[in-house]
Amino acid sequence: MNTPAVRFAARTVRVKAPGKINVSLDVGPLRPDGYHSVASVYLAVSLYEEVAATSTETPGITVSLSPGSTLDLDAVDIPLDASNLAYRAAAIMADVSEHATGVHLEITKRVPVAGGMGGGSADAAATLLACDALWNSGLSREELAHLAAELGADVPFSLLGGTAVGLGVGDQLSPALAKAKTHWVLVTADFGLSTPEVFRTLDRLREAEGVHADEPTGVDPHILAALRGGDADALSRILVNDLQRASIELAPSLRDTLGIGESHGAIAGIVSGSGPTVALLADDSVAAEALAEDLQHQGLSALAVHGPVPGARIISDTLL
């Protein structure tokens, strides 16, 4: 008697994970290992990447970009091979999962590429959570965060979300009890900046000025207090990003973007991380929407967002 073949049942787990802005970023000197110590306050904002992980009968990992992406995919260079951070996240999960199958990752891109907002890190965080569910790996959030740290400094934060203080190279995270909303307008650029190049430029500027930066040991408590209270006015006076002048050195148009934003009602502006995305702080949600509309009329790509928002989370789990 012939035993009927068991039909492979595909399943898709869809996860969304947020991009981030650095509300503050202090950068130490170049270390012997080639990295810089930082002290930063991360804020997860309401601009999300999505990853749909689908089990496949064929072994291996494949990656594609969703036509539902809001970015112009023809204008960005996103690798779809083993150098892609989401691919690497799936490979790590396959190594630690007893019941791993082949998997196809479809990524919906919304966070600017090479924009200083951790879009690739959000893809990796979403992939870790999606594959954990897909393969019933049963890892705790702490175990997933440990794997996330192997992929890059921003990946654990995208998994965590909310507000957090980052020390070390940004991977030593401490959640901050700051749940009050602040409202921002993100102005994205039609170009990217290389994070290593921005750090090198900062080192070069400091060397030319004879400036020796100290190792950062913590963040300004006034920033955390302003975030806890959702006090945009107080926050506007203490935003800091040591990388901002290096980003402007490489892309002088960012200075114009900051000026235009503030002339149209932003109460403060900052380059997010290594840039070139500019984050403009607004008084409230109404002011943020109005500012975004005004900047769009100026020909800029602007989007109102808020933070903090939760980290990576499953939004659907479907048998096909």
Question: What sign has the CA pseudo-torsion 220, 222, 223, 227?
Answer: positive
User: Can you give the pLDDT at residue 179?
Assistant: 86
User: Can you give the pLDDT at residue 114?
Assistant: 81
**Euclidean distance between CA atoms 226 and 219, whole angstroms:** 13
CB atoms within 10 A of CB 89: 31
**Residues with Cβ within 8 Å of residue 314, at least 6 apart in sequence:** 13, 14, 15, 129, 130, 133
**Residues with Cβ within 8 Å of residue 47, at least 6 apart in sequence:** 18, 19, 110, 111, 117, 186, 303, 305
Question: What sign has the CA pseudo-torsion 130, 109, 265, 202?
Answer: positive
Domain ranges within the chain, ordered by starting residue: 10-320
Q: What is the pLDDT of residues 133-183, one digit of tens each?
A: 999 999 999 999 999 999 988 999 999 999 999 999 887 899 998 889 999
Strands 102-108 and 163-167: unpaired
Q: Is the pLDDT of residue 116 over 90?
A: no
Side-chain half-sphere exposure of 309, counting CA atoms within 13 A? 19
Question: Dihedral through CA 25, CA 273, CA 187, CA 130, nearest 10?
Answer: -120
User: Can you give the pLDDT at residue 7?
Assistant: 66
User: Can you give the pLDDT at residue 4?
Assistant: 55
Q: Is the pLDDT of residue 242 over 70?
A: yes
**Residues with Cβ within 8 Å of residue 288, at least 6 apart in sequence:** 183, 184, 185, 282, 304, 305, 306
**Residues with Cβ within 8 Å of residue 38, at least 6 apart in sequence:** 25, 26, 27, 28, 166, 167, 168, 169, 170, 216
Distance set, CA 26 to CA 4, 214, 314 (Å): 63, 10, 33
Answer yes or no: are the C-beta atoms of 311 and 162 closer than 8 Å: yes
**Residues with Cβ within 8 Å of residue 26, at least 6 apart in sequence:** 38, 39, 40, 216, 219, 240, 242
Write the class of the CATH domain 10-320. Answer: alpha beta
User: Can you give the pLDDT at residue 101?
Assistant: 95
Could you say which of 26, 123, 132, 154 is catalytic?
Answer: 154
Could you check whether the bond before residue 79 is cis, i.e. omega within 30 degrees of 0? Answer: no
Residue with tokens 């933070």: 307
Give percent of the chain above pLDDT 70: 98
**Euclidean distance between CA atoms 114 and 124, whole angstroms:** 15
Radius of gyration of the chain measured on its C-alpha atoms:
20
If phi over 0 gives left and psi between -120 and 50 gives alpha, with beta otherwise, what is residue 117? alpha
Q: Is the pLDDT of residue 238 over 60?
A: yes
User: Can you give the pLDDT at residue 113?
Assistant: 86
Q: Over the chain, what is the mean pLDDT?
A: 93
DSSP state of 265: T
Give me the mean pLDDT over the 52-80 stretch. Answer: 91
User: Can you give the pLDDT at residue 9?
Assistant: 78
**Euclidean distance between CA atoms 283 and 152, whole angstroms:** 33
Model confidence at 219, in pLDDT bands (50, 70, 90)? very high
Question: Dihedral through CA 48, CA 151, CA 43, CA 256, nearest 10?
Answer: -80
The reply to whether 16 belongs to the active site is no
User: Can you give the pLDDT at residue 170?
Assistant: 83
Answer yes or no: are the C-beta atoms of 320 and 10 closer than 8 Å: yes
The reply to whether 283 belongs to the active site is no
User: Can you give the pLDDT at residue 6?
Assistant: 54
User: Can you give the pLDDT at residue 161?
Assistant: 96
Give me the mean pLDDT over the 258-262 stretch. Answer: 97
